[in-house]
Amino acid sequence: MESDPVGIFGKAIKDPETTTVRDGDRIEIYRPLLADPKEVRARKAAEKAAKEKAQSAS
């Protein structure tokens, strides 16, 4: 998206329209995360614990 900030090798570019990109540069587009990785991991761990508890109770 045009509104998302961009960078090269982890450094944000203020004016991407005029920045020269060289061969081998890693171009990055910074956009908001769709899901927080910490929350996803915590949810999966809780689901696994609940599943194991249910199996041990059987």
Whole-angstrom Cα distance, residue 14 to residue 2? Answer: 13
Q: Quick one: pLDDT at residue 24?
A: 94
Task: Write down the mean pLDDT value for the chain.
Answer: 89
- Does 57 or 13 have the greater pLDDT score? 13
> What mean pLDDT do residues 26-46 have?
93
Q: Quick one: pLDDT at residue 46?
A: 96
Residues 6+ apart with CB under 8 A from 10: 28
Instruction: Give residue-wise pLDDT tens across range 11-33.
Output: 888 888 888 889 999 999 998 88
> What mean pLDDT do residues 37-49 have?
96
Q: Quick one: pLDDT at residue 1?
A: 52
